[in-house]
Amino acid sequence: MKLSRRSDYALRAVHHCSKHQVGRLHSINVIAESTQVPREFLAKILKDLTDGGILLSHKGIKGGYTLARKPSEINFLDVIEAVDGPMYLSLCTEPAAGKRKKHARCELCTFWTAQEKSIKQTLRKQHFGRYSKGRK
Amino acid sequence: MKLSRRSDYALRAVHHCSKHQVGRLHSINVIAESTQVPREFLAKILKDLTDGGILLSHKGIKGGYTLARKPSEINFLDVIEAVDGPMYLSLCTEPAAGKRKKHARCELCTFWTAQEKSIKQTLRKQHFGRYSKGRK
């Protein structure tokens, strides 16, 4: 079980923006350098975060990204689901998709349903106001 | 964050073997049918589980797989790590590997280190004796 690389990098990018004054523009180059995420991969992630309502993209030479909401109003689950879609811990909790049928209920379902609920709750509680040093 | 498909299937295979009498042989065809895992993919997973000391492989026409230990002595983390290697939740907790340097300590490290510890503890507590119906 692990966080996807996309989510890991997305959390770092939002963490970077949360540490600075609300409204401050962050260029992709500065975020890439600060988070050590390859620029091309980061561009895709920033697009997903913008589409997902976590960041605002400002065009132009002096453009860049700002948080779309206060850091305290963005939590870890918001960021993970913005780049990876709805989080399902196991096949036991995943709904049917495409050709795949919904997994028939099994003895492991109870465990994974409870774990998913607990982990999502923890990720929802972990907001970026914690890292914004008085700029919540 | 999610369980890999390999781990998900491996847990189902071990769950299948745990439900029956200790020492009973389970052919790959029966496990594939019961767990709904594609046979070819399952063969690789069963090999990893055998190499990892979770299953014993018995050769021959009437061969198959048995649990290498009592169901109560096999936990979810054992199975996940047998097929996916050591579990690291995030880049924050992953050690250096190959060309990749160890991630420099950041503000997110504390959160991920605590989460990884807690999730591993839960997976370690979840053993297969729970599913073996009096055959622990």
The pLDDT tens digits of the residues spanning B69-104 come to 999 999 999 999 999 999 999 999 988 766 666 667
Q: What is the dotted CATH code of the domain comprising B5-129?
A: 1.10.10.10
* Residue among A106, A22, B39, A20 at smallest CA distance from A30: A20
Query: pTM for the full model?
Result: 0.90
Token code pair at residue B125:
């507590």
CA distance B132 to B136: 6
Partner A contacted by B131 (CB < 8 A) = yes
Task: Name the phi and psi angles at B80, rounded to 5.
Answer: -60, -45
For domain A5-131, say whether CATH 1.10.10.10 is its number.
Answer: yes
More confident residue, B61 or B6: B6
Q: What residue type is B16 in one-letter code?
A: H
Residue B132 pLDDT: 86
CA distance A36 to B110: 19
| CB-closest option in A15, A92, A103 to B108 | A15
Instruction: Tell me which chain B residue has its CA closest to the CA of residue A105.
Output: B35
Chain A partners within 8 Å of B126 (Cβ): 111
* pLDDT, average across residues B103-110: 83
Task: Name the phi and psi angles at B116, rounded to 5.
Answer: -60, -45
* pLDDT value at B106 more than 90: no
Residue A136 pLDDT: 47
Residue B39 neighbours by CB under 8 Å, 6+ apart:
B28, B29, B32
| CB-closest option in B1, B104, B123 to A87 | B1
Are the C-beta atoms of B1 and B7 separated by less than 8 Å? no
Residue numbers in chain A where pLDDT is lower than 70: 97-104, 134-136
Partner A contacted by B89 (CB < 8 A) = yes
Partner A contacted by B121 (CB < 8 A) = no
CA distance A49 to A76: 12
Q: How far is CA A55 from the centre of its chain?
A: 11
Which residue shows structure tokens 């963005």? A74
| CB-closest option in A2, A5, A88 to B87 | A2
Chain B partners within 8 Å of A11 (Cβ): 108
Task: Work out the minimum CA distance from A80 to partner chain B, whole angstroms.
Answer: 8
Tell me, what's the ipTM?
0.89
More confident residue, A62 or B42: B42
